[in-house]
Structure 1
Amino acid sequence: MTSEPLAAPTRRTYSFLGPAGTFTEAALAQVPEARDQNWRPVRNVGEALADVVEGRSDAAMIAIENSVDGGVSTTQDALATVPGLRIVGEYLVPVEFVLVAKPGVRLEAVSVIAAHPVAYAQCLTWLTATLPEHSHIPAASNVAAAVGIVDGVIDADAAIAPPGILKLHDLELLAEKIGDNAHAVTRFVLVSRTAPPPAPTGADKTSLIVELPEDHPGALLELLEQFATRGINLSLLASRPIGDELGRYRFVIDADGHIEDERMADALLGLRRFSPRVLYLGSYPRADRAIVRYPDRYSDEVFVEARDWLRGLVSGEPEA
């Protein structure tokens, strides 16, 4: 009697800003469960998130924050408006840039440079000093800029790209380490469809998007007090226009801790009572795995004891 062959395990698919060689691909390479799976290059954040929502991908890696330029507005706005998503992890990638061109091109001959706008801004001091009369052509990604000049699709003399591009394409290295900040880092998040958060690790972060109920003096302070009075540190607070009228903003928040922490759960309840819209994006391990520290008076046990005390008062139990 012969047994049926076992079916091959289903491979997962991950979307990332392509083509191969981007910083986003470098971030995805840090995800253990993504190794030896299907990697799907896309052209922009919207396409990556649509892949997840519509089921073409199991998760997408997207840039959300840069240590030089701050939050990535296209990502923050997309997360605020595309329903059914959860952040399940974050990853940090050091940012380094090179200037490349077709073989034979010399640096002094460069007058038009292709680059992603964020990368261009991060190299502007070097470019102004070295090529003061240059002009810039925006590209969907830095790898796309380099590939575009190789293929002749982009009418530029050179491109700003990550160093790994030199291993993938026949390009001339005109200059390296051209970024204005040697310590620049980009933070990426892995986004999946709505699912329970990973278990707490003690080194976690919770991401939210919150709208103010109305514009009045102290409204933002009231929002922040939901965290401050529970001993929760915020590692990111950024405002983005809602877009329906002038003066209306939503706030993108990263808070230290996990939704299963008593203090964080209590803060979310406070936010829910305060705000007309609280969007929970997820609780997930910090990329640096730094343990979240807080005063003992904000420990889980203190919150549980306070709730038990109140229940006792309501039920008529004698106080000890």
Structure 2
Amino acid sequence: MDRPPRPQRRFAYLGPRGTFTERALRSLPEAEGARLTPAATASQALALVLRADADAAMLPVHNTVAGMVPDTLRALAESPAPSVLREVVLGIEFALLVRPGTPLARIRTVSGHPHALRQVGGWLSGRVPRARRLSAASNAEAARLVREGECDAAVAGEFTAAPYGLRVAASGIQDTAGATTRFLLCARSGGRGLPALAPADRTSMIGRLDGRPQDVDGLLADLRRHPFLRAVSLYAVRDGGRGSLLFADCPGRPDEPPSARAVGLLRLRVPGLRSLGSYTAAQDPSRPHDPSHPNDLCHGHDSYEGSRTMPTEAADVTTTGAPRPAQPTPEDIAQLREQIDDLDRFLIGTLKERLRTSREIQRLRTGRGGTHLDAGREHAIRGRYAEELGEGGAGLAEALLQLCRGRSAR
């Protein structure tokens, strides 16, 4: 009996046609024969997924020279429950595209995505110093502007020239050799997408912070110093208003103890931080894969801080597939106790901050004629602790509530 044909896969990507994002999508075997739909913005690409008009969307998230892509982070933060399925890392080389017959001396305007313009700024200043730089939604959109005569030149990949009838005036114009861009294939949680690759070795999270990136530097520096977060990569970008978006990459899956501790701590410090899912990290094309490297999931593209692995509290805690460590030495135990002392200092400081905040809420409630306590709120707190920490969580919550009902910390 013949099986019914499998439905055609449908993918969206940051377009129009001819972007590096399209190239990243086409690098996936599953994209062959699929219906590929370009979107003008990252938000529009995710909207196609949410409306079930696409199974998944490919979006650029980070470049090793220009940093995070704010538009993508804003789209991920605003979209309800997107889930990352795959990651692709591409080497990036730029070319200057012009209409046939246009010499460099006649170029007065150059367009490209802001990330692209940032990566070729030195070359442009040296070769076309009088050209005004115009931002475009994508490099392919910049190529369209050149084709339509609205701009003299575009910064894009060489492969973008042919679809738009343009000529490559110069190639390899990037200021930094070996740059790579990281792309994420995102689906709707629970929707039809691609089968997951195993094993997943990265978990990404996103959330909002009060204050602009320069205003939250202290918080980020404090988080990066924490023993549980030494292998976590943290990025902050403007959210388009007065706040910031925090993007975090944690090695491993949330069900692995080191990752679970990192995720739990981040959620404690950044309320509302949510997971974008766990997936397999891609290999950086600029260097060969080294399976013997203790943290090779970094793949060299600036995703994690160095090659340090996440600390554990017990010597027999391992990640999937890793060999069991040797018996602990007194030095190992002393080092772990130092980490416990660091954590205790962090927890005590956090409890003092919570206590002060709780007392301020009580002052405001009673000042307006309200009651000293909110029974419904306390019940919800007990339930939250019990859900996250098990049977002992409710008891811990009760002790915390009792502390906050009494005297504030000095």
Instruction: Flag whether TM exceeds 0.5 (same fold).
Output: yes
Task: State the partner residue of 1:317.
Answer: none
Partner amino acid, structure 1, of 2:184: V
- Out of 25, 47, 53, which is 1:50 matched to? 47
Structure 1 position 79 matched with structure 2 position 70: no
Residue 27 of structure 2 corresponds to residue 35 of structure 1: no
Residues 212, 220 of structure 1: 8 Å contact kept: no
RMSD (CA atoms): 3.2
**2:172 aligned with 1:155:** no
Q: Going by fraction, where is strand more abundant, 1 or 2?
A: 1
Normalising by structure 2, we get a TM-score of: 0.63
Within the candidate set 171, 178, 183, 1:183 is matched to 178
| 1:154-179 per-position Cα deviation (integer Å, ceiling 9, x unaligned) | 42222222111234343222111111
Distance 1:148 1:87, change over 3 A: same
Task: Tell me, in whole angstroms, the C-alpha distance in 2 between the residues paired with 1:49 and 1:251.
Answer: 19
Question: Which of residues 264, 282, 286 is equivalent to 2:277?
Answer: 282
Contact 1:65–1:71 (Cα < 8 Å) also in 2: yes
Per-residue displacement from partner, 1:11-62 (whole Å, max 9, x unpaired)?
A: 1110012232210011101222222111111111111011111211110000
Q: Which residues in structure 2 correspond to 1:149-298 (within 5 Å)? A: 149-150=146-147, 152=148, 154-195=149-190, 198=196, 200-201=198-199, 204-211=201-208, 220=220, 223-224=223-224, 228-229=227-228, 233-234=231-232, 236-241=233-238, 246=242, 249-288=244-283, 293=295, 294=309, 297=312
Query: Judging changes above 3 Å, is the alpha-carbon distance between structure 1 residues 159 and 216 closer, same or farther for their aligned structure 2 residues?
Result: closer
Instruction: Please give the residue correspondences for 1:101-120 in structure 2 after superposition, counting only pairs within 5 Å.
Output: 101-120=98-117
Cα-to-partner distance string for 1:83-114 (whole Å, 9 max, x where unaligned): 12011111111111111212122121211222
Which residue in the other structure is 1:16 paired with? Answer: 13
Give the TM-score normalised by structure 1. Answer: 0.80
* 1:43–1:221 Cα change, 3 Å: closer
Letter in 2 for 1:286: A
Q: Deviations over 1:115-164 (max 9, x none)?
A: 222212211111111111111233222122223322x2x42222222111
Deviation, structure 1 residue 195? 3.8
1:126 matches 2:123: yes
Tell me what 1:302 maps to.
317
Matched residue of 1:33: which SS?
A: helix
Task: Give secondary structure in 2 for the equivalent of 1:49.
Answer: helix
In 2, Cα distance between equivalents of 1:105 and 1:285: 45
What's 2:365 paired with? none
State how 1:88-103 maps to structure 2 within 5 Å: 88-103=85-100
The 1-side partners of 2:257 and 2:169 are apart by 54
Aligned-residue offset at 1:82: 1.4
Conserved? CA contact 1:114–1:156, under 8 Å: yes
Paired residues, what number?
294
What fraction of aligned residue pairs are identical, expressed as a percent? 32
- d(CA) in 1 for partners of 2:40, 2:217: 42
Change (3 A) 1:28 1:69: same
CA contact (8 A) 2:110 2:151 kept: yes
Question: Does 1 or 2 have the higher relative contact order (CA < 8 Å, sep 6+)?
Answer: 1
Q: Is the 8 A contact 2:258 2:312 kept in 1?
A: no
Which position in structure 1 is the counterpart of 2:306? none
